[in-house]
Homo-oligomer: A and B are copies of this chain.
Amino acid sequence: MPQSRLKIIPLGGLSEIGKNMLVLEYEKDVVVIDAGIMFPEEDMLGVDLVLPDTTYLMENKDKVRGILITHGHEDHIGALPYVLRQLDVPVYAPRLAHGLISVKLKEHKILKNARLRVVEPGQSVKLGNFKVEFFRVCHSIPDAMGLVIRTPVGTVVHTGDFKLDHTPVDGKPTDLAKLARLGSEGVLLLLSDSTYVEIPGYTPTEQVVGDTFERVMAQAPGRVIVATFSSLVSRVQQIINAADEHGRRVCILGRSMIDTFQMALNLGYLKIPQGILADVDELRRLPPEKTVIVMTGSQGEPTSALVRMANRDHRQLRVIPGDTVVISATPIPGNETLVSRTINNLFRQGARVLYDRLERVHVHGHASQEELKMMINLIRPCFFVPVHGEYRHLALHARLGETLGIPREKIFVLEDGDVLELSQHHGKVTGRVSAGHIYVDGLGTSDVGGVVLRDRRLLSKDGVVVVVVAIDKRTGKAVSIPDVVSLGFVDMQESSELIERTRRMVKEAVDHSGAGRDGKGAIDVKVKNMLGKFFYEQTRRRPMIIPVTLEV
């Protein structure tokens, strides 16, 4: 019987929980599962990206034995350049993820010192008290893995992001036999992907998208332009297969698309018929109905090739009559408006646009309800912790687990930072560790904290007014009529009368208080209060007010 308990601590995810980083700890050993970035939510103004809070890892630096990467998506690997700067530990990743990580670390100029290890499915790694084995799962990127982690308390199974596609494009389905075997051996804890627990039934196989591409390539009267994620390597394979079938040549466009394509090709994750690729110039010389272009922009990213085409703003490419544009992705929450605008503008340019509401141009990479039930029934764990999802997803997944016979007291819906301790028969949340988020804005990673964001939110709503007044040291009176600058509050020209009244009011207020008597600070407060009230009465707006008082 082990003396100690196994700790499970989800550490990263914004609205999603345990998505980007999760910690397992047993005595003097810690392993970290994934190190991904989060994309800022709408009210995180000006924030470029968000990192998991690694305070707990830094406090336990000496214990960390390694980082285990389940697959190569940004929300699972994107934080590595930041985390590895603080934490010099080995990173274990499937081959394709390893390739993507290498590209990323090279960009950040820290590849040389990084200790990256490739793991194959079935391979085991010993990390202190943990013995980790990777097993194959299907997801929207090839080479996705789940983890079997044998600990002194029992076996932990982490599904990673998964679905149970029986006919995946790369021919490598989720290793169900392995899962069944694990289930018979006995599993202490299942950590399972909750992303699509709201969806009944089964997630369709990637093949249905292949069928759509086939039909589109056959029927499109001109060029076929497909926008998708560069990491959807299997999707790119399907596009190329369909193009080949219909005698079309394929142009891969855009830096990130080309980089990932090249890397996946080199590592053998893409099979390309001889001579099918074409560059933009070659493409131009071919009849449109013999061509396909693959690019990014499926999320309406303002600088992407697709968006620039939609806005007639691309150097080399215009929408031409007969173009069919396929948006082979669904909008990530928060991107809906950008995607909508892009589609509208493509229609305006005369393109025919196929997107998720009209055609089966995308299937997602996560298990739906029946697959999630299958996973739980195969593993039959003693404890169940739903991960990867917003709170409602975890709550629904927990209830799903209950309906399959897992006792309620053995199911834990955790929040990031919760510390769950497990013995062989008992589990309890025993505490919380720091699990805030680190905002990255430009080069700064820690300074965009509460104050800065709060100010940006206020500024974005009603702008700012700067009031400058020079006060005569001896008389305590304003030397001249104060200066007023408005940014984002009112139009200075249209509201010149308001601005004039403001200037006069401030002068009077200063003259009647006297800097000598009230002091500089008191005058600032007085101006702020007075103008706050005045502006609200006049405009029903509450700009930030910065009084600047100079004694001269």
Contacts and interface: CB of A to CB of B under 8 A. Distances in A.
A103 B89 CA distance: 67
Contacts of A340: 15, 333, 390, 392
A449 interface: yes
Given A455-B463, A459-B459, A550-B552, A444 B487 contact: no
Contacts of A544: 487
A391 B538 contact: no
Interface string A346-384: 011000010001100000000000000000000000000
A442 B494 contact: no
B460 A539 contact: no
Interface stretch (A38-46, A171-179, A213-221): A38-46
A463 B470 contact: no
A525 B395 CA distance: 57
Interface string A436-459: 000001111011110111011111
Interface in A449-482: 449, 451-453, 455-464, 466, 468, 470, 479
A45 B42 CA distance: 12
A539 B336 contact: no
A382 to B, nearest CB: 25
| Binding site secondary structure of chain A | mixed
Q: Find the residue from A347, A458, A479 having the highest chain B CB count within 10 A.
A: A347
A490 B195 CA distance: 35
Contact of A455 (B357, B396, B487): B487
Q: Find the residue from A333, A334, A470, A489 having the highest chain B CB count within 10 A.
A: A489
Contacts of A337: 41-42, 333-334
A332 B362 CA distance: 23
A97 interface: no
A491 B100 CA distance: 34
A16 B470 CA distance: 51
16 contacts: A15-B344, A45-B460, A333-B337, A333-B340, A336-B336, A347-B391, A347-B392, A446-B494, A452-B463, A452-B489, A458-B488, A460-B460, A466-B548, A468-B550, A470-B552, A487-B546
Interface of A: 15, 41-42, 45-46, 198-199, 333-334, 336-337, 340-341, 343-345, 347-348, 353, 357-358, 390-392, 395-396, 441-444, 446-449, 451-453, 455-464, 466, 468, 470, 479, 483, 485, 487-491, 494-495, 538-541, 544, 546, 548, 550, 552
